[in-house]
Chains A and B, each alone.
Chain A
Amino acid sequence: MTDDRLRVLIVDDERPARQKVRRFLAADGEIEAVYEAPDGLRALEIIRDESPDLVFLDVQMPGLDGFGVAEALDPDVRPHIVFVTAFDQYAVRAFDVHAVDYLVKPFDEARFRKALARAKAAQASRTARGERARVRGLLEDVQSHRPTMPDRLLVDAGDRMVLLPLDRIDRIEAAKNYLRIHAGRDCFRLRRTISGLEDRLDPARFVRISRSEIVNVARIANLEPWFHGDRIVVLTDGTKTRLSRRYRDRLDHFAP
Chain B
Amino acid sequence: MRNVRWRSWAISAGALGVIALDRFAYRYLDLLSNGLHESPIHVLVDEVTAAAAGGLLLIPLLFYARRVRRPGVSLGSLVLRHAPVVPVFSAAHTTLNYVFRLGAYAALGHGRYDYGILSYRYLMEFPMDVIVYTVFVGIVYFIDHARETRDRELKLVQLEGELSRLRLKALESQLQPHFLFNALNTISSVMYEDVRAADTMIAGLADLLRRSLRSDAAAECALHDEMDTLELYLQIMRARFAERLTITTEIPDETRNAAVPTLLLQPLVENALRHGDPGPDKRAEVVVRARRENGRLLLDVEDNGPGVAGTPEDVIGRGVGLANSQRRLAQLYGADQRLSIANRATGGLAVRVEIPFRHLVAP
Contacts and interface: CB of A to CB of B under 8 A. Distances in A.
Interface residues of A, number: 25
B18 to A, nearest CB: 56
B240 A87 contact: no
B240 A16 contact: yes
Secondary structure at the A interface, as helix, strand, loop or mixed, is loop
A171 to B, nearest CB: 17
Interface string B305-339: 01001100000000000000000000000000000
B306 A165 contact: yes
A62 B189 contact: no
Contacts of B182: 14, 17, 86-87, 105
A88 B185 CA distance: 15
B62 to A, nearest CB: 39
B181 A165 contact: no
B300 interface: no
Contact of B181 (A20, A38, A105): A105
B185 A63 contact: no
A167 interface: yes
A165 B279 CA distance: 13
Contact of A106 (B181, B193, B306): B181
B280 A15 contact: no
A86 B181 contact: yes
B177 interface: yes
A63 B181 contact: no
Interface string A18-52: 01100100000000000000110110000000000
Contact of B180 (A14, A38, A42, A87): A87
A19 B277 CA distance: 22
B274 interface: yes
A71 interface: no
Interface in A206-249: none
A86 B188 contact: no
Given A62-B277, A87-B177, A15 B243 contact: yes
B323 to A, nearest CB: 14
B279 to A, nearest CB: 7
Contacts of A87: 177-178, 180-182
Contact of A16 (B190, B244, B274, B280): B190
A143 interface: no
Contacts of B230: none
A87 B177 CA distance: 6
Interface in B206-254: 239-244
Contact of B274 (A17, A38, A41, A62): A62
Interface string A138-179: 000000000000000000000000000101000000000000
Nearest to B318: A151
Nearest to B274: A62
A15 B309 contact: no
Interface of B: 177-178, 180-182, 184-190, 192-193, 239-244, 274-275, 277, 279-280, 306, 309-310
Given A14-B241, A16-B189, 11 more contacts: A16-B190, A16-B239, A17-B189, A20-B192, A23-B189, A60-B178, A87-B177, A87-B181, A88-B178, A105-B181, A165-B306
6 contacts: A13-B241, A14-B241, A20-B188, A39-B280, A87-B180, A105-B185
6 closest pairs, A vs B, by CB?
Answer: A20-B189, A105-B185, A106-B185, A86-B181, A16-B189, A62-B277
